[in-house]
Each structure stands twice: as structure tokens, then as C-alpha cells.
Chains A and B, each alone.
Chain A
């Protein structure tokens, strides 16, 4: 399974963070990969609409786009506008951000 996380907006635009970040679950620690798979399942990710949440008002909110491609070749994208109210999608997003942070830290340790 591959998961991509892309973010747009927030109080500033960072070109580096705006690029979609891909996570190949095979390259993650097994417990992280399992947790992510479970989160995708619990969020019923493939049944979610393309956009969750609307922004009639407000400013500086982040818009996340999560794309999941499973090993069977299924692919689906969901756009989330914060604050994300749905608890399972929120949990998935949290896990993704955590995994991203861990990846960055290990990359930094290898190439200081």
C-alpha cells in the first residue's frame, strides 16, 4: 500500500511541504505500517467522498489531500479541510503526519 499526503495553505505557503509526500508502507517499521493500514480501513477511506468539509469563512486553514493506493491497484483521493471533524479520518491524518515526521528525522540523521 502507498499513501500520499499533500497539504496546501496554512498561515504560509511552503513549496517544500506542498509537494505530495509519498509513504511506501513496505519501507516503514511494521507497527507503523499496520497502524496505517488499520486507520485506512477504519476510516472507510475508499468510500469517502472526494472532499470532506467546506470553507465558507475563515482563513489560513490547511487543506490536506490524502491519496491511497492499495496493493490491488485501487486508488482514491480525499481532500480534507481542517478542522477535520470525522474522528477516523482525523486519526488517519494524525498517523500520516507522525510517520512523515519520523521519516524526516531519520533522513536528517543519515544526511546531517
Chain B
């Protein structure tokens, strides 16, 4: 017996994934279509074709591994003891109870909440979709003011206590870091310029969804802040970023003023910050906020699904700009909820409001079938400077 068999029936998830798969196999056509909307186990286009007429034997394509019927959440938390020599010491593994260290518990719970969002809402089994174990390293460095994803694990500093509190304090930051792993696996979106800002924005979007789901907030109840609670009282500011009002999160003597634009007219051209990845992410962030609030209800339901579908679209190039991602979200909305329905309109309208026009013709789905080749990906090299 596994100590932590998970039989959670989330109210906001249409059905738990294992049940969804049963229906995908044995349900009626209507049931299948409804479920396949949420069940993106295989690639978007396979699901799409299946939903449209069961052209592919369902059982084969939708269930890549017979193991994938239950959650495979596998967390390990390491204590860095204020050094930077990774990996540090294991202090909590899956199924173990709370420790006396608040950072350890926050990391453990934050990874759990993030895993749950991807699993219960998007039927994705961890970062790689194959149950990849999750590793978080807390108490990294001395007075360390950051959290990052190194390609394999999440690393969290304690903050210097002067400007920043511990970085595990904000569950959306934990979700943000883990989502970098998801994007790296699915995208990947080159960490530079517009594709890098999209990469950043996707981490903010899903990080925020993790927090909203933990707090059971609907789109209009959420604060849409990223990293609320990270600043100490010495800082004039509420959070690292605001998805609702980019550029308003802080204005402080030491940190400066939040540089995020919320519209293309204020797009920042810079070589710093990998070409402004944490700056221009304000634009797609606001687009997501606008979609979610326009549609109402829980943001992870429709808006979240549309964004997730676009992220997984094989046509998303590693050097994608805002415009092409916008187009993929419009197409995803039409595909998931019907063309020219509220969802597609909301998505198109949101991008319009941040200065990105997705024309009707260009958003139309190109012919897509087994014989169609994917566009060649032009490799974009970030400058070394």
C-alpha cells in the first residue's frame, strides 16, 4: 500500500484524471469530447483529432504508460544550510510529516500544490509528464535574494532580511520555478527577448494559478500579484510584479520602480535581463489576466486550459514572439470551446487590449494532418555579453 494514495476529487477539475481516461476509453462520444478538452496527455493535435472523430484508436494514443493512472508526486527537500554547494542534505521526502523548519514545509507544500494543479487540472504528471521527481533546495547561500530553476531543480534563498524575506514564502514563486521546468520540457522557449518574456509570463501565469487554487479564488477575487509577501517592510511595494497592472508592484529607493509595461506601446528594448525577459512579460501577463477576468470563474478552468494548450502546441517555436503565441491561444480557444464563441472572443480581445492584433484570417487553423510537416525551427542564439 502506498502511504499516500491520492483519491482527491477536486470540485474544479471536471474529473480526476484516471476517471477521465476511463471515459476516454469507454464513454460516449459526447463524454469523450468533453473530457478530451481537459485531458492533454498526448500532444494537442492527437487529442484534437481524436476528439473530432476518434480517428485514432483511443486506448493506444491517450495512455502512453499504464503507470499513469495515479498521482506520482515525489518530493524531496534539501537543506543547503546556507551554503551554495548543491545538493545539500535531504531533510524531507514524500510522505514525511512537517518538520520544524518553515522553509522546508513551505517548499514541500508549494511543490505539492503546483503538482496538483498540473495533475488535477491539466492531467499532466509532473514537469516532464512522466512523473519526474521534484527537488527543492532551501536555505541556499547566505542572505541570498533569489529563487531559480537550474534545469533540474528549484533553488530558494532565505532573503537578506533587509529587502527580501525567504523565497519559499510565496507559493506562486514556487509554482513559477516549477513551471520553468514544464516550459523547458514542452516549449522550449529560448530565454531571451520576446520568447524569454513569454517563458517568464507562462511561469507567472501558472504560478498565479497555483496560488489562486490554493486560496480557492475566482478570477475577480485574486490579487494577480506575483511574489506577494517577499518584500520586507523596508521596501515600498507589494510584490515583484502585478499581472493586473504591470508597472505598479513597487516603487522603492533601493529597488527602483517596477519597470513592467502592460502594453506593446511601452515595450522595453534592452540587452539587460536577457533582453528584458522579466520586464516585457508584463504584456502577456496582462493579456492572461484580461482573459481570465473576462471569462470569470476560476482562472485555471478556461483561461488556464487555453494557455496550457497553446504552450503544448507543436507549432510554438522556441523563438516565438508575442504575436505568434497570441495566435496560438486564439486557435486553442476556438479548438477547445468552439470557434467564435465567448472564449475565442475574450482571448482575441485581451491581446488587442495589450496592443497585439490577431487577425481573423491569420488565426484560422492551417491544414493539419498526418502528412503536414512542422515548420522548421530557426535557432535563435542569445548573445554572449
List residues of A whose CB falls within 8 A of some B CB: 8-19, 51, 55-62, 82-84, 90, 94, 97-98, 101, 104-105, 108
Contact = CB atoms under 8 A, between A and B. Distances in A.
B162 A13 contact: no
A82 B148 contact: yes
A59 B167 CA distance: 15
Interface residues of B, number: 46
A13 B177 CA distance: 15
Contacts of B361: none
28 contacts: A8-B272, A9-B273, A10-B148, A11-B227, A11-B240, A13-B259, A13-B272, A13-B277, A14-B255, A15-B256, A16-B253, A16-B254, A18-B256, A18-B273, A19-B256, A51-B384, A57-B184, A59-B203, A60-B149, A82-B84, A82-B148, A83-B140, A83-B155, A84-B84, A97-B142, A97-B160, A104-B162, A104-B254
Interface in B26-48: none
A90 B255 contact: no
A11 B259 CA distance: 14
B276 interface: yes
Contacts of A97: 142-143, 160
A60 B180 contact: yes
Query: Which of B191, B234, B241 has the largest number of chain A CB atoms within 10 A?
Result: B191
Given A17-B255, A51-B384, A83-B86, A60 B177 contact: yes
Contacts of A59: 148-149, 177, 180, 184, 191, 199-200, 203
Interface of B: 84, 86, 140-143, 145-152, 155, 160, 162, 167, 173, 176-177, 180, 184, 191, 199-200, 203, 227, 234, 240-241, 252-257, 259, 272-274, 276-279, 384
A57 B151 contact: yes
Contacts of B253: 16
A68 B107 CA distance: 37
Given A9-B274, A83-B84, A58 B151 contact: yes
B384 A57 contact: no
A13, A57, A84: residue with the most chain B Cβ atoms closer than 10 Å: A13
A104 B235 CA distance: 13
Contacts of A61: 146, 148, 150
Contacts of A16: 252-256
A2 to B, nearest CB: 21
A103 B230 CA distance: 22
